[in-house]
């Protein structure tokens, strides 16, 4: 009898599939941001969610679940009910670098999520407290190398973008700073502005306002070209460290098993947000690099995550950071 009832309930669920998606969403959606409020991932999530909520007709509520370089919130999402009402904003750290830095990671970025879509590329800048005694990148690197662990580097936890991208910088430049972890680069930036820490590698969307306000120093941006949002900040190539080329990205994911009709509906709302003039303006003003139409599909993100995990694993292992 039980077997028959189970079979009937599964059949009913499949039969309701399209109807379920048609009804979706019929209550608010939770978007987990795996870092503290006010940081780049949080800011990008809130800008995208603001427009998506209008398209979907339901509020997307941001829930900040910080810790362990973003892997706490990512694990929470991977283990949530795949009904479309829990999604997350991940990034190059949580869905690219983390597997190489956490041998016992409780999720596989390539298997435990359904890709919704890419939201924003985020160039990385090398920034320091405004009183740091170096006028340019060359002087900064010389001073940081000479002072060793007397220099404090802020980041958002092992495996975060800020941690991973400074790992690369430290390996290339021979720096051995004291690392100061935070629950996100939002709070880390507060301490950089107040001079409690010396430097950070962070995503441009977190930095534009503080750089323009003269509250922190920006030594270089690690992209081939300068950013239109920060035209006065030299590239690492111009500043004498051409080999330091790194950019991060932020993208939306749902837990594995979330019905395709539902993730397609979320992708559609995201694509509409990325086409919305006001949403584009808010992201571009912060220095984000927006994906082209081909880069906005679910398949494009799924393929990209596999490439990022494959790219970062050898880089991180070569840096000797694993197991630190």
> If binding is defined by CB under 6 A, does position 35 make contact with ligand MLT?
yes
Burial of 124 (0-12, 13-18, 19+ CB in 10 A): buried
Task: Determine the Cα angle at 189 with ends 76 and 153, to 5°.
Answer: 90
Alpha helices in 66-184 (DSSP H): 71-78, 98-101, 137-147, 161-173
Note whether 244 and 236 are within 8 A (CB).
yes
User: Measured at CB, which residue is nearest to ligand MLT?
Assistant: 39
CA distances from 139 to 40, 146, 177, 237 (A): 28, 11, 16, 15
Where would I find the beta strands (DSSP E) of 38-102?
60-64, 86-91
**Site stretch for ligand MLT (CB under 6 A), options 37-45, 100-108, 277-285, 291-299:** 37-45
Least distance (Å) between residue 182 CB and ligand MLT = 8
Least distance (Å) between residue 283 CB and ligand MLT = 14
Q: In the set 25, 31, 32, 39, which binds ligand MLT (CB under 6 A)?
A: 39
Binding to ligand MLT by CB under 6 A, coded x per residue (else -) over 110-149, reads ----------------------------------------
> If binding is defined by CB under 6 A, does position 160 make contact with ligand MLT?
yes
> If binding is defined by CB under 6 A, does position 42 make contact with ligand MLT?
yes
> If binding is defined by CB under 6 A, does position 316 make contact with ligand MLT?
no
**Distance in angstroms (rounded) separating the CA atoms of residues 75 and 94:** 10
> If binding is defined by CB under 6 A, does position 96 make contact with ligand MLT?
no
User: 184 or 255: whose CB is closer to ligand MLT?
Assistant: 184
> If binding is defined by CB under 6 A, does position 249 make contact with ligand MLT?
no
Q: Does residue 74 sit in helix, strand or coil? A: helix
DSSP structure class, residue 93: I
> If binding is defined by CB under 6 A, does position 64 make contact with ligand MLT?
no
B/e letters for 91-109, b = 16+ CB within 10 Å, e = fewer, are bbbbbbbbbbbbeebebeb
Nearest Cα to Cα of residue 158 among 109, 219, 103, 110: 103
User: 86 or 160: whose CB is closer to ligand MLT?
Assistant: 160
Least distance (Å) between residue 177 CB and ligand MLT = 16
> If binding is defined by CB under 6 A, does position 184 make contact with ligand MLT?
yes
Phi, psi (deg, nearest 5) at residue 81: -65, 125
Least distance (Å) between residue 10 CB and ligand MLT = 39
Tokens of 109: 């970025």
Q: In the set 161, 169, 173, 283, which binds ligand MLT (CB under 6 A)?
A: 161
> If binding is defined by CB under 6 A, does position 185 make contact with ligand MLT?
yes
Please report, as ranges, the residues that interact with ligand MLT according to CB under 6 A: 35, 39-42, 70, 91, 93, 156, 160-162, 184-186
């Amino acid at each position: 009898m039980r077997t028959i009832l189970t079979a009937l309930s599964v059949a009913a669920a499949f039969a309701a599939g399209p109807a379920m998606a048609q009804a979706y969403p019929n209550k608010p959606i939770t978007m987990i941001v795996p870092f503290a409020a006010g940081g780049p991932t949080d800011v990008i999530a809130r800008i995208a969610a603001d427009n998506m909520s209008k398209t979907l007709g339901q509020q997307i509520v941001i829930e900040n679940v910080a810790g362990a370089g973003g892997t706490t919130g990512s694990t929470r999402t991977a283990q949530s009910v795949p009904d479309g009402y829990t999604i997350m904003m991940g990034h190059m750290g949580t869905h690219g670098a983390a597997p190489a830095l956490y041998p016992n990671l409780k999720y596989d970025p390539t298997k435990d999520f359904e890709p919704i879509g890419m939201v924003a590329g985020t160039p990385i800048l090398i920034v320091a407290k405004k009183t740091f005694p170096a006028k340019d990148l060359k002087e900064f690197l010389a001073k940081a190398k000479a002072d060793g662990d007397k220099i404090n580097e802020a980041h958002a936890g092992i495996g975060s973008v800020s941690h991973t991208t400074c790992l690369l910088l430290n390996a290339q430049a021979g720096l051995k700073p004291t690392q100061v972890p935070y629950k996100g680069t939002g709070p880390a930036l507060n301490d950089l502005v107040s001079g409690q820490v010396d430097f950070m590698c962070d995503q441009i969307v977190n930095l534009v306002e503080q750089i323009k306000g003269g509250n922190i120093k920006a030594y270089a941006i690690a992209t081939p070209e300068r950013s239109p949002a920060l035209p006065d900040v030299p590239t690492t190539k111009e500043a004498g460290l051409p080999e330091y080329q790194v950019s991060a990205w932020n993208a939306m994911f749902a837990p594995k098993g979330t019905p395709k009709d539902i993730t397609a509906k979320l992708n559609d709302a995201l694509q509409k947000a990325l086409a919305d003039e006001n949403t584009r303006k808010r992201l571009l003003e912060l220095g984000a690099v927006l994906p082209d139409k081909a880069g906005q599909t679910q398949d494009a993100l799924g393929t990209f995550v596999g490439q990022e995990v494959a790219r970062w694993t050898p880089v991180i292992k070569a840096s000797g950071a694993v197991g630190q």
